[in-house]
Amino acid sequence: MISQKLHNAINAQINAELWSAYLYLAMSLDAEAKGYKGFANWFYIQFQEEQAHARIFMNYLNSRDAKVELLPIEGVPASWDSVLDMYRHTLEHEKKVTSLINNLAAIADEDRDFASINRLVWFIDEQVEEEESARDMIAAVEAVEGNKYGMYMLDKEQAARVYNVPSPLATSAE
């Protein structure tokens, strides 16, 4: 059985994941409005990943016979000064999500809830990947910043990125 404290924290995390999806959708739309369809694709895939993360948490609560409670999603920024600003915001946001996931893991550890700890390991690993991806994109954009051809090529490269269903969903009926 999942503790009420962890149950509440996971419901809050579902809201955070959906807010993250909303944030990345806004970034995708802003990048496209700025003429960067490839970067828009990168952020749109982030949007899809965050929705999947929320669904993984929802599936987990359902599997533990704990009710999912959807909370209102607060608004997100609508525009950024540049693509570089989007990626810098992404890194700061992912660091915040990492702290939220670490908090869930601490609660599960405190509860000695090994099933929850096991599920959260996937998210801990995912956050390492998310932060690294954002840092890589910051470095890439900084390397070509001010070079129109370089930005064009990097944008084209990001257009090739594809969404991959996260393993916890690929093995379920979702």
Per residue in 71-88, pLDDT (tens digit) is 999 999 999 999 999 999
What's the pTM value of the predicted model, to 2 decimals?
Answer: 0.94
Q: What average pLDDT score do residues 10-38 get?
A: 98
Would you tell me the crossing angle of helices 83-111 and 4-33 to the nearest 10 degrees? 170
pLDDT at 174 over 90: no
Cα 42 to Cα 163: distance, rounded to the nearest angstrom: 9
Instruction: Compute how many other C-beta atoms are within 10 angstroms of the C-beta atom of residue 119.
Output: 21
Would you tell me the crossing angle of helices 37-63 and 4-33 to the nearest 10 degrees? 160
pLDDT-derived band at 173 (thresholds 50, 70, 90) equals: low
Over the stretch 27-74, which tens digit does the pLDDT of each residue have? 999 999 999 999 999 999 999 999 999 999 999 999 999 999 999 999
pLDDT (0 to 100) of residue 50: 97
Percent of the chain with pLDDT over 90: 94
Question: Any idea which fold 4-167 has?
Answer: Ferritin (1.20.1260)
pLDDT (0 to 100) of residue 167: 87
Residue in the block written with tokens 């916890």: 168
pLDDT at 171 over 80: no
pLDDT (0 to 100) of residue 147: 95
3-class SS string, the chain: CCCHHHHHHHHHHHHHHHHHHHHHHHHHHHHHHCCCHHHHHHHHHHHHHHHHHHHHHHHHHHHCCCCCCCCCCCCCCCCCCCHHHHHHHHHHHHHHHHHHHHHHHHHHHHHCCHHHHHHHHHHHHHHHHHHHHHHHHHHHHHHHCCCHHHHHHHHHHHHCCCCCCCHHHHCCCC
Over the stretch 100-137, which tens digit does the pLDDT of each residue have? 999 999 999 999 999 999 999 999 999 999 999 999 99
pLDDT (0 to 100) of residue 98: 98
Distances (CA, A) of 156 to 102, 141, 149, 150: 35, 13, 10, 10
Quick check: 31 and 83 in contact, CB under 8 A?
yes
